Amino acid sequence: MKRGRMARNEMRIGKILGAAFLSILFPVLYALVLTAFSPRFSLRASGAVVMFVLAAAYFFFCQWRLSRGNAKALREDWPLMLALNGIPLVVAILAVFEGGFLRSLLALIPCLGGAFAGAAVASRGARKRQASE
């Protein structure tokens, strides 16, 4: 019994480290996409929408991959969600101190929303799979 619990904890720590790595990778990918699309989109309206959608899709996919197979992902995987959103949370907190509360809130919405939606979809898929077995 202890051995199984230890293996689960080790796997969970590995997932949390993977989520932290994906969090660090996000600003790099964000900057690459921003520089690739900045000539085509003005950063006022359409560029902001494109970046909002891409951030939500990135965090959705990452959280879905991390929470796959866990029927209780919304309740149990909150450390993964925090690790995945680590860099955006730090940036938002720093932006609040610089006076950009609204901007930091708007940057955090797709990140947290995408991670929450990814965990919800993974949880639903796992519950359906368990019900069919």
**Could you tell me if 59 and 84 are in contact, meaning their C-beta atoms sit under 8 angstroms apart?**
yes
Quick check: 46 pLDDT over 60? Answer: yes
pTM of the shown model? 0.77
Give per-residue pLDDT as tens, 110-125: 889 999 999 999 999 9
Answer for the pair 77, 70: CB distance below 8 angstroms, yes or no. Answer: yes
- Identity of residue 58: Y
State which amino acid sits at residue 122: A
Contact 79, 91 (CB under 8 A): no
Write down the mean pLDDT value for the chain. Answer: 79
pLDDT value at residue 119: 92
Percentage of the residues of the chain whose pLDDT score is greater than 70? 80
pLDDT of 8 > 70? The answer is no
For the ranges 46-50, 76-80, 100-104, 122-126, the maximum mean pLDDT occurs at 122-126
Structural contact between residues 73 and 44, judged by C-beta atoms closer than 8 angstroms: no
pLDDT value of residue 1? 46
Q: Residues 12, 17, 18, 20: what is their CA dihedral angle, to the nearest 10 degrees? A: 130
